[in-house]
Amino acid sequence: MPVRKAAVERRTKETGIMVNLVLDGEGECRVKTGIPFLNHMLEAWATHGRFDLDVKATGDLAVDPHHLVEDLGIVLGEAVRKAVGDGKGIARFGFAAIPMDEALAQVAVDCGGRGYLAWAAPLSLPETGGIPSDLFEHFFASMVVHGGITLHVTCTGRSDHHRIEAIFKAFGRALSQAVALDPRVRGVPSTKGTF
């Protein structure tokens, strides 16, 4: 079975991002974004999704993290879409509920080619880990639109750190289920016959 992987690069006046993603990996990560908390979240996503992930990202962090976080979501989404290819043989749907102490994240995924985010995960603090709280929703919106993924996120808890980390872990687990190859699936898992 060929390994499903993708390399995507994006260079703008604001950011420079290179991502190598292996869907059928072991959770090995090398992530450098210049934002330690974002590194930690991407490592959690890849570890629990069992994706091999190599990220090198630079950006105008002296302005603020917005451009880097948004563009990284775009590139990761493009990498997932490219690695999934035409979607033949994938399970398509995935779900995970991940607790982290008092926090509980529930994530449902459809890799059916339509990018959409339903976000019910309010955060309490204006920022977490040096990232403005609204950027987490924006990151996922950028990723799923460019990845052709429908993503529903709900999360409860008191600690924003725990809530955000539980979301990244749950998304990794749910996406891993959705992109997994199912030997019973012939062609694309859609009544349309295509995504």
Query: What tokens does 35 get?
Result: 């934002």
Ranges of each domain in the chain = 5-179
Q: Look at the domain 5-179 and name its fold.
A: Ribosomal Protein S5; domain 2 (3.30.230)
Are 189 and 113 in contact, with CB atoms under 8 Å apart? no
Q: pTM (2 decimals)?
A: 0.96
Nearest residue to 151 via CA among 162, 164, 140, 163 = 140
All residues at 6 or more sequence positions from 4 whose CB lies less than 8 Å from its CB, including other chains: 22, 23, 24, 83, 84, 85, 179
**17-75 residue pLDDT tens:** 999 999 999 999 999 999 999 999 999 999 999 999 999 999 999 999 999 999 999 99
Q: What is the pLDDT of residues 112-156, one digit of tens each?
A: 999 999 999 999 999 999 999 999 999 999 999 999 999 999 999
